[in-house]
């Protein structure tokens, strides 16, 4: 069989008009999470037609895809779990450390030539320590979402002397009951416990947001949640911007309700510019959605996306097919 491959030549989301020209007749299409108009174009465009068998997204997240629309049409969806777990966990740890230790703020100070005005001083630039210490012997890490990436992040925190792990999990897909005991034994933790959002907010030294996006998880971190967090706590979001209410977070940071925030994702990205209230907050470190951005990981994602596409086109097993029935 001959496969005709049509490739958008730019390293950015494709133009809508280009897509509308190319899609008719396609059996499969690879999309990025930045292709937000893709779902609409594909389902509304009749010419996308009966040939379409598979959509393969080069991402672990899939909230940019209209799952019920494609499921109704019998189109399969491929995605890229696992291959990016380590890269995103690395970045989550990096953000927790960067925020706690004022990494971004103090680097700018040096860049701006201001170090001479701020020589070393006993309590200069002090922030909350992530590692356990005689002063703070217990360290509680909180996770909103406790899937692969959250657990890989926990693993990286163990050498820092973390003692407690608490997590919030979607009530409709809880982890297996034996998980808590297994992780306690594996990592020598004092406790691993599934909790509600209130307890998570109150007890965590760092809250890592690592759950899927979409309506179900929208603004799980809101003014109420932030108001219950410790004053010294750090919020890290490396999943989807929609989980955190940006306005409430900016207010909380401005009023010193929490210590700081590290965000790889922000609601409304990439339209996040210098006048955004979060960008103006010195204790908010914002990165432009680079969680999976290592060459190794992006190659892994691209390869998996291609394999998913081919599997779907040839009606063979796809290495990572999303089970649409359980999600629609």
- For the annotated catalytic residues, the residue numbers are 289
**Residues in 242-301 at the binding interface with ligand GLV, rule: CB under 6 A:** 291-292
For the record, the structure tokens of 124 come out as: 């200069």
In sequence order, the 6+-apart residues with CB closer than 8 A to the CB of 285 are 95, 98, 99, 103, 104, 260, 261, 262, 263
Q: Which of 259, 299, 256 is nearest to 95 (CA)?
A: 259
Reported as half-sphere exposure (CB side, CA atoms, 13 A), residue 176 has a value of: 5
**Among residues 23, 26, 33, 207, which is the contact residue for ligand GLV, using CB under 6 A?**
33
Given 54, 162, 165, 210, the residue binding ligand GLV (CB under 6 A)? 210
The structure tokens 């893709």 sit at 38
Q: How far is the CB of 212 from ligand GLV (least distance, A)?
A: 6
Site for ligand GLV in 35-64 (CB under 6 A): 59-61
For 74, phi then psi, to 5°, come to 75, 20
Is the Cβ–Cβ distance between 26 and 51 less than 8 Å? yes
Q: Which residues within the stretch 92-121 sit at the binding site for ligand GLV (CB under 6 A)?
A: none
Find the part of the chain contacting ligand GLV (CB under 6 A) among 44-52, 148-156, 228-236, 242-250. 148-156
Report how far apart the first and last C-alpha atoms of the chain are (Å, whole number): 33
Nearer to ligand GLV among residue 105 and residue 321 (C-beta): 321
Rounded to a whole number of angstroms, the minimum distance from the CB of residue 149 to ligand GLV is: 3
Torsion angle, alpha carbons of 114, 117, 118, 121, to 10: 160
Find the helix packing angle between 85-100 and 148-157, rounded to 10°: 50
Minimum Å distance from CB 171 to ligand GLV?
A: 17
Q: Say how many residues touch ligand GLV, by CB under 6 A.
A: 15
CB of residue 179 to ligand GLV, shortest distance in Å: 13
| Min dist. Cβ of residue 75 to ligand GLV (A) | 19
| 3 state SS of 145 | coil
Judged by beta carbon, residue 148 or residue 276, the one nearer ligand GLV is 148
Tell which one of 37, 101, 148, 155 touches ligand GLV (CB under 6 A): 148
Nearer to ligand GLV, 91 or 201 (CB): 91
Residues near ligand GLV (CB under 6 A) are 33, 59-61, 81, 84-85, 145, 147-150, 210, 291-292
């Amino acid at each position: 069989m001959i496969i005709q491959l049509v490739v958008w030549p730019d390293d950015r989301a494709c133009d809508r008009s280009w897509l509308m020209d190319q899609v008719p007749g396609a059996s499969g299409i690879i999309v990025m999470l930045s292709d937000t108009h893709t779902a609409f174009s594909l389902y509304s465009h009749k010419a996308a037609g009966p040939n379409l068998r598979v959509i393969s997204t080069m991402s672990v997240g899939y909230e940019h895809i209209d799952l019920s629309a494609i499921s109704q049409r019998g189109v399969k969806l491929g995605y890229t779990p696992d291959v990016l777990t380590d890269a995103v966990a690395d970045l989550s740890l990096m953000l927790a450390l960067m925020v706690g230790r004022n990494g971004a703020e103090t680097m700018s100070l040096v860049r701006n030539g201001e170090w001479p005005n701020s020589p070393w001083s006993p309590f200069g630039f002090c922030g909350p320590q992530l590692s356990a210490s005689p002063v703070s012997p217990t360290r509680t890490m909180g996770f909103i979402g406790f899937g692969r990436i959250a657990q890989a992040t926990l693993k990286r925190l163990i050498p820092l002397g973390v003692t407690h792990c608490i997590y919030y999990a979607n009530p409709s897909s809880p982890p297996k009951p034996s998980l808590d005991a297994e992780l306690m034994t594996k990592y020598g933790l004092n406790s691993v416990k599934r909790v509600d959002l209130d307890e998570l907010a109150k007890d965590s030294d760092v809250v890592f947001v690592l759950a899927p996006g979409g309506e179900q998880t929208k603004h799980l971190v809101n003014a109420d949640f932030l108001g219950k967090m410790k004053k010294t706590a750090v919020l890290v979001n490396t999943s989807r911007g929609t989980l955190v209410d940006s306005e409430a977070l900016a207010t909380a940071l401005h009023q010193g309700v929490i210590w700081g925030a590290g965000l790889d994702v922000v609601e409304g990205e990439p339209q996040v510019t210098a006048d955004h209230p979060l960008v103006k907050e010195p204790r908010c470190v914002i990165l432009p959605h680079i969680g999976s951005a290592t060459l190794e990981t992006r190659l892994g994602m691209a390869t998996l996306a291609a394999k998913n596409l081919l599997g779907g086109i040839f009606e063979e097993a796809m290495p990572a097919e999303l089970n649409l029935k359980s999600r629609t």
